[in-house]
Structure 1
Amino acid sequence: MKIIKYLFFLLLFAIIAGAVYVFTIDGDYQVEESKVIEAPDELLFDTVNYFRTWEKWGPWMEETDDMIITYADKVSGPGAYYSWKSETEGDGNMETVKVAPFSSIDQKITFITPMGESVSDVYWKFEKIEPKKTKVTWGMKGTQSFMEKLYWVIQDSTLSQSIKPMYAKGLNNIEEYVQERMEAYSISVDGVTEHGGGFYMYSATASDIAIIPEKMKQMLPTVDSYMYQNNLPKTGMPFTLYNEYNEEQGTAIYSVGIPTRDKVITPQESAVLCGFMPRQKVIKTTLKGDFKNLEEAWDKTYDYMAKNNLEALENGSPFEVYRVDPNIQPNPAEWITEIYIPIK
Structure 2
Amino acid sequence: MRIIKYLFLLLLLSFVALTIYIATQKGNFTVKSSKVINSPKATVFGYVNDYKNWQKFSSWIASDKDIKLSYSPTTAGKGSTLTWEGINDSGNIQTLYTKGNDSIVQKMEYNGTSSDVFWSFKDTIGGTKVTWKSVGKMDFMLKVNSFFGGGTQNKLSKVYDKCLANLDKTLDFENTTFSVKINGIVKKLETFYLRESFTSKISDITRNANVVFPKILTFCKQNNLPLNGKPFIIYHTYDTINNLTKVSFCIPIKEQIFTSEGSEILAGKLDAFEALKTSLTGNYTYKNKALEKTIKYTTDKHILIGSNFSHLEIFTIGKNESLSPSKWLTDMYFPIKPKVIPPPYRKVVKDSTRIVPTTIKNEVQSEF
TM norm. shorter chain > 0.5: yes
Deviation at 1:93, TM superposition (A): 3.5
Among 59, 70, 87, which residue is 2:66 paired with? 70
Report the Cα distance in structure 2 between the residues aligned to 1:268 and 1:120, rounded to whole angstroms.
61
Which residue is equivalent to 1:220?
A: 213
Q: 1:24 to 1:311 in 2, by over 3 A?
A: same
Distance 2:141 2:306 in 1: 77
1:156-167 alignment, distance < 5 Å: 157-167=150-160
CA distance in 1, matches of 2:54, 2:217: 38
The one-letter amino acid of 2:59's match is G
**Counterpart in the other structure of 2:34:** 35
**Alignment partner for residue 329 of structure 2, among 311, 314, 336?**
336
- Alpha-carbon separation, structure 1, partners of 2:262 and 2:146: 75
Contact 1:40 1:330 in 2 (8 A): no
- Structure 2 CA distance for aligned equivalents of residues 59 and 228 of structure 1: 43
Summarize the Cα distance change of 1:122–1:207 in structure 2 as closer, same or farther, 3 Å threshold: closer
Alpha-carbon distance in structure 2 between the residues aligned to 1:308 and 1:314: 17
Q: Deviations over 1:269-294 (max 9, x none)?
A: 22222222111111111112222111
Secondary structure in 1 aligned to 2:50?
Answer: helix
CA contact (8 A) 1:124 1:138 kept: yes
Aligned counterparts, 1:247-262, within 5 A: 247-262=240-255
- Structure 2 partner of 1:16: 13
Map residues 125-274 of structure 1 onto 2, 5 A cutoff.
125-127=118-120, 135-137=131-133, 142-145=138-141, 149=144, 155=148, 157-274=150-267
Q: Residue 122 and residue 221 in structure 1: after superposition, are their counterparts in 2 closer, same or farther (change >3 A)?
A: closer
Q: Do the aligned residues in 1 keep the contact of 2:56 with 2:166 (CA within 8 Å)?
A: no
Contact 2:191 2:252 (C-alpha < 8 Å) held by counterparts: yes
Task: Specify the alignment match of 1:44 in structure 2.
Answer: 48
Q: Which sections of structure 1, spanning at least 5 residues, go unmatched? A: 62-66, 85-91, 110-118
Inter-partner Cα distance in structure 1 for 2:261 and 2:149: 79
Offset at residue 319 of structure 1 (A):
0.7
Which moved further from structure 2: 157-166 or 267-276? Answer: 157-166
- Distance apart, 1:230 and its partner CA: 3.2
- What is the alpha-carbon distance in structure 1 between the residues aligned to residue 96 and residue 201 of structure 2? 42
Inter-CA distance 309–144: structure 2 relative to 1 (3 Å threshold): same
- Gap regions ≥5 residues in structure 2: 73-80, 99-103, 339-368
Kept in 1: contact 2:33–2:157 (CA 8 A): no
Report deviation, 1:99.
Answer: 5.7
Match of 2:346 in 1: none
| Distance of 1:96 and 1:191 partners within structure 2 | 49
Name the aligned partner's letter for residue 233 of structure 2.
Answer: T
Q: Are residues 41 and 136 of structure 1, via their aligned partners in 2, closer, same or farther at CA, if it must alter by over 3 Å?
A: farther
Deviation of residue 256 (structure 1)? 1.0
SS of the residue 1:231 aligns to: coil
Match of 2:86 among 61, 83, 86: 83
d(CA) in 2 for partners of 1:156, 1:205: 61
Matched residue type, 1:106: M
Deviating more after overlay: 285-294 vs 260-269: 260-269
Report SS of the residue matched to 1:41.
Answer: helix
* Structure showing greater Rg: 2
Identity %: 18
Offset of residue 334 of structure 1: 2.7
1:106 corresponds to which of 75, 87, 108? 108
